[in-house]
Amino acid sequence: MFVPEGASRSLRERVLALSPSARTEIYEFSEPDGRVQKVDPADAGNLESWLVSRREIESALSGARDSVARVQGIVPGTAEAIGARVPAGTKEATLCFRGLEFARWTKDGLLFGLGDAREPVSAATEPALERLIRQLDLHRSSLAEEVNHPIYRAAPERWLRAIVVCWICSG
């Protein structure tokens, strides 16, 4: 398998779950200079992770509580699809719509948008946030007709996690 340089980490973790009889080789390529480097699948160590104390997580979620409630109330019927979590190594909270991050609360305020395009929430930008939530509700649903839409296809593992967590909490 060939992947862009620096993009093999999650692939290496998944390859370790395959049967040992499945012979797999991973190569990272650098497009500018055409360099290809073989990557050892067993080199999937957990060196970049850390544990965040429960107190820090609860503090960040507590600080974001009002913003999360405000966003959950923008479009009726979507509150259960919007959840908050604290990414490792931060004191921020991300708001996710069925696993897809669309907003981030920081000590400086609430930002929203998909990908790297983020803008602050204000009275002037709230209609754009409402449109985004409506778009997420339309395309980020198991009943969506357009299953090739980028919003539907984004972050499938996080979407599955959101479904499992919702199912466990309701049971």
pLDDT tens profile 112-155: 999 888 999 999 999 999 999 999 999 999 899 999 999 999 98
Instruction: Look at strands 119-120 and 109-112 and give their pairing.
Output: antiparallel
Spatial neighbors of 13 by CB under 8 A, at least 6 apart, are 44
Domain ranges of the chain: 2-39, 54-170
Q: What is the pTM of this model?
A: 0.68
